[in-house]
A and B are shown apart, each in its own frame.
Chain A
Amino acid sequence: AQSVTQLDSQVPVFEEAPVELRCNYSSSVSVYLFWYVQYPNQGLQLLLKYLSGSTLVKGINGFEAEFNKSQTSFHLRKPSVHISDTAEYFCAVTFLQGAQKLVFGQGTRLTINP
């Protein structure tokens, strides 16, 4: 079965602390991997993507993620968070067959405390 799991529904951290948001997927076919951010009552904005090549990808706003094929994971990291990073973060996977639609995880609510 093809699925995406975000292991933490909520992650509270203090400002300027590092953060890691975890994402695992299950697939029998090749995948593309994405992280999106969503602010309240807004659409989704792409943070970063992995299509091929280097397994460490850098995105906007200082975020990065590492693709680990053996562990089928794509965890999102930031070394020092800001208040403005407070948002909902979604891991998404495109399974390279059929409609090649995005399959999303449940989301992780990142709350930055001063």
Chain B
Amino acid sequence: DTGVSQNPRHKITKRGQNVTFRCDPISEHNRLYWYRQTLGQGPEFLTYFQNEAQLEKSRLLSDRFSAERPKGSFSTLEIQRTEQGDSAMYLCASTEGNTEAFFGQGTRLTVV
């Protein structure tokens, strides 16, 4: 296993467009988390899946954001009608329990 994989690594989009990011967790990990990191800040929690069930969403996750984890494997994070304030690094992490989260390389989104 090569760890947590995120695609794409970079995405530049025009304001108002929709974007989708993908995260492939470590295969045996049942928990998957999405975080958002803006410049000069620590990552902030967005949402959490245990297997295929989305169990918690942050209030940061507006109704333009949606995340899925079909079949409890990979996950997608979609942002509709992107705004310049959505520009950030989107990080995915997976864990089997809660003792160590493994992070992907992130997807850097730039909204122009």
Contacts and interface: CB of A to CB of B under 8 A. Distances in A.
Number of chain A interface residues as a range: 20 to 34
B93 to A, nearest CB: 8
B106 to A, nearest CB: 5
B74 interface: no
A102 B55 contact: no
B21 interface: no
B51 to A, nearest CB: 14
A32 B28 CA distance: 22
Contacts of A17: none
A43 B106 contact: yes
A94 B98 contact: yes
B40 A107 contact: yes
Contact of A107 (B6, B33, B41, B105): B41
A107 B43 CA distance: 9
A10 B7 CA distance: 31
Contact of B104 (A43, A92, A98, A105): A43
7 contacts: A36-B103, A44-B43, A96-B98, A98-B56, A100-B98, A101-B33, A107-B40
Interface string A80-110: 0000000000101010101111111111000
A99 B54 CA distance: 10
B28 to A, nearest CB: 18
